[in-house]
Structures are given as C-alpha cells and as structure tokens.
Structure 1
C-alpha cells in the first residue's frame, strides 16, 4: 500500500461520514432538513464542511498502520496522538465528529493493516488495535468515560474492544435489506435504527439519563417492528419518533458515528472506488 492508497482510504471514510450526514430523516441527528440547527444544535452544512478536516488525520492513521505493520501497542499510541491532533483540527474547522474520528480512525487503520479484509474481518482487526491501552492519553476523564463509569455502559472504547458489534449489526441489516430489494436510503435508515435499538449511547445517558436511553431504544425497535422505514406503518412510526426527539432535544450521536463506520466498512467490502462514489 502506498500514500495514494492511504489517501483513498481516508477519502472513503469521509465519504461514508458524508453519506451518514445526508441521510434523512434521522431522529435526533443532524440532517439536511435542519440547516439552521434549530433542533440538533449542530449545523448540517458546517458538519459537512468540517468532515473534510478529517482527511489529513485519517490518511496519517492509514500510513501509520501501514508503517507499523501489526496491531501493536505502539500503533495504538500513535493513532491516539494523531486522533487528538485531528480533533484539534476539527475544532478549528467548526467542530463535531469526535465519535466518528474514533470509529473511522480505527477502521481506516485496520483497512491499511489488512488490505484484503472485508466487513467482519475489518472490525476484527480494529478490535485488535483497540485492545491496547493508549499510553499517551491525557489522564483527565472525558465526559463519555465518566458516564460509562457511572452507568456501566460500554462507551466508545468498550464498543471498539468488543469488535464494534453495532457496526457488524448494521452491516448485516444493509446486506439483508439489499437482498430483499429495499431502497438504499431505507436500508441505511433501518441500519441506523438497529444500532439505536440496542446501543448504550453515552451521549444520551448524559443528556437524558437511563430512562431517556430506554425510550430511544424502544422507539427505534418500534419502527423496525412495523416493518422498517420502507413500509407505510414504519414511516409513520419513524415520523413520530423523530418528532419526539426533536421536542425533547435528545440526540443519539453515538449511533450516527457507528453508522458512518458501517458505511465505510461496507464501502471497503464492495471496493473503495465504488464505495466512495
């Protein structure tokens, strides 16, 4: 793999994040309907712009993985340092995407380590990287780690160390939906709702508490139980779910980041060139 391929992986990851941002309607998450950020408090246009600031960092992560050649503690430490630098660049570009930086960074590094890895193989390699502690990480606790400790939620680190189970579930939903002839946008929305239905989202736990998290999980399952977003009943349930999250101001951001990871893993599975289109 050469530097051009590192850049291609980074571009595919940003394309996956952009596809997640463009998907609509996403309950509680920024999408093209909310250009003025009245509900989510995150401007959709600004998020699309700041996503481009991920490119240098993600390409550097791919190059770092390729240079190390194995999921070692040294690689984990270097990826952490690059990730923190990338988050600083994101802040200067308008902010957002912190969760996506973690998810996509690990998956891009995994793809660089194992160029032939596809789908579940890719997340398995990411799991090996995440298994090592970040020896250079700041000692101060983050909001996510504090919430994880308080409620016993896996959090972003736990999700990665478990091999991204919600990315795997989203990939399964995408594959099954396409086999059934479901339109691509509905397949992606159903994948997002599948993640929401079981994810212990630390952002939701922080803003809404355990009751709010359970309410979001139940409502997401309700849409799927109605047949998914491709059905009339499912669309009605999705609209009600969306309206409720808008009213309450709850945002399941962790689910959005994991969907972006699934879309990247899916792009790698079908070939980066096609997936980045």
Structure 2
C-alpha cells in the first residue's frame, strides 16, 4: 500500500528535476542496450534486421533520438502526481514523434507504454524518497494508474499485439501494466539478477534473460506473425537453449545464431520479449542507482 503524502519526505523540486533527467537517461540507455545486443533471434540488431523488412538499426536510433525527452518528461509528471489521462497524453504525443521520425514504422510503441509508466512510477517514488527495490515500481503503477489503464479505450488503429490479444485471448501489455508488471518482476528481473550472480557478463546476462522470456512469455508479436505454431516453436527452442545451459555453454553464441536464422526463415520476431528485456534493464539500472 502506498503511504499517504503526509507520511512522505518530499525531495525539493529542483532535485526532482535532476532525478527525472536521470530516469530519462536510464530509459534511453536501456533501449539502446537492447538494440545493440546480439544475437537476438528474429530481432533487429547490429548484425542485421532479423525478420523485419521495414526497419533496421538506423530506424531504431532515429526513434530513440525522437523519444529522448519523453522519458524524462513522464518521470517528472509522475513525480508531480499527475493522473492517468495526463500520462496517456504524454505517451500519445511521444508515439506521434516516434512515427514521424521513422516514417510511420512502430519501433518503440511497447517501450513508450511500458517503460513510460515505469518511469512515471520511478519519478513518483523517488520524489517521495521511497525505495525502488522488489516490485515497488510495479505496485505503484497498479495502484495509481492501473484502473485507468484497464478502462482506457485502445487507440486506433489497434496494434498487432492488440489484435493478437483479441484473437487468442492471451495477456496483453495493458493487463500486464495494470497488474503491476508481474512478468517483469517475477521472471525477467530474477533471470537477469541470477545470470549476473552466476558470473555472466552484462551481454550474456541480457541474452539469458531474453531467452528466459522467450521460453515463457505469450508473446503477442509472435502470435501475430506465426500464430500458435510460431509461438510454440520459439518457446520450445528457447527452453531447449536454457535446458542445455544457456549462455554458460561454450557454444552458446552459435546456438543462439542458429535460432536467429530459423526465426528469420519463419518470419518470427519476439518483440514482446524484447520490450520486456529493455524494461528489465531499465529497472535493474534504476535499482543500482537508488536505495
């Protein structure tokens, strides 16, 4: 339960602005780290465009440049205690800037939504001197804005992920956010923390986390592109990768590249897992820099 304002110790407004800027920089760095990571089966990376004909690394970099002020602004809005409607309007404006920068290509819609609300929650908690440990950020999103997230009508046109949710009855990004991002805090972050604890360097830890997500997540992008069969294929291959030792095997990179090529052949791209990976990087980095 979030404490009432009377029990909180507010950070001065000038310091809150610096904290919001830090949240913004952390978000952009997380998205760049996800983009630069490779091999990522079917996804855009410095290696190639994966299963995507309409975008490459340059497209993502243009998108990131367009979004660089958004994450700082939404963290500041969260710090100020703005309501769901205000945060939603920040996100809509950011998505328009993204689409203008990419020529209409959706590169970071998932991050605008997910990391946007997590960034707002970080701003809210940091302004009040509260911890970011555990699932605190997710709990803040759920308590302050969860009802608004569920009640809001989907923006038109409906995204590929939204159509997959409607067709297959799986969990979507809105439900995940409204419930406090349970997949992020019970699956992705423990996988990242565990890999680092077991001695993986940051690159291998991120790959291990990505494959953990691919093995478990009902990825709506995979459902959109390949239906249940495509989702089952990626989940099964990711599970086999992990069961054989994951990134702690000497030949892990060759195995990951083999799945990358298989995903390209099938036009599959686990974009939902990539979004969750970036969110995990973001929250992990924030935790390291805040009590």
- Which residue of 1 is the match for residue 201 of structure 2? 183
Aligned pair partner of 1:28 in 42, 45, 60: 42
Counting only pairs closer than 5 Å after superposition, residues 107-256 of structure 1 correspond to structure 2 as: 107-115=118-126, 116-134=131-149, 137=153, 140=156, 142-143=158-159, 144-168=161-185, 169-256=187-274
- Matched with 1:90 is 98
- Distance in 2, Cα, partners of 1:138 & 1:188: 31
2:62 pairs with 1:64: no
Q: Distance in 1 between matches of 2:112 and 2:75?
A: 13
- Compared with structure 1, are the counterparts of its residues 13 and 141 closer, same or farther at alpha carbon in structure 2 (3 Å cutoff)? same
Residue 130 (structure 1) shift = 4.4
**TM-score using structure 1 length:** 0.89
Q: 2:33 aligns with which of 12, 15, 19?
A: 19
1: CA distance between counterparts of 2:100 and 2:286? 29
Q: What do the CA deviations read for 1:143-190 (whole angstroms, capped 9, x no partner)?
A: 322321211111111221232233221211121112111122111100
The Cα of 1:140 is off from its aligned counterpart by: 4.2
Helix, strand or coil for the counterpart of 1:232? Answer: coil
Rate the CA distance shift 1:162–1:218 in 2: closer, same or farther, 3 A: farther
Which whole-Å CA distance do the structure 2 matches of 1:230 and 1:104 have between them? 29
What's the CA shift for 1:241?
1.2
State whether residues 51 and 269 of structure 2, in contact with CA within 8 Å, keep that contact through their aligned partners in structure 1.
Answer: no
Residue range with higher mean Cα deviation, 115-124 or 82-91: 115-124
Name the SS of the counterpart of 2:199 in structure 1.
coil
* Residue 202 of structure 1: how far off its partner (Å): 1.2
1:89-126, Cα deviation, whole Å (9 max, x unpaired): 00111141111111110110010111132252222222
State the distance in 1 between where 2:67 and 2:183 align. Answer: 22
1:275 aligns to what? Answer: none
SS across alignment from 2:147:
coil
Is the contact made by 1:123 and 1:163 (CA closer than 8 Å) also made in structure 2?
Answer: yes
Following TM superposition, by how much is the alpha carbon of 1:67 offset from its aligned partner in structure 2, in angstroms? Answer: 1.3
Matched, 1:78 2:86: yes
- Count of matched residue positions in the alignment of Structure 1 and Structure 2: 265
TM-score by length of 2: 0.85
Root mean square deviation of aligned Cα: 1.9
How far 1:138 moved relative to its partner?
Answer: 5.6
Cα deviation 1:190-235 (Å, max 9, x = unaligned)? 0011111111111111111011111111111111111012313544
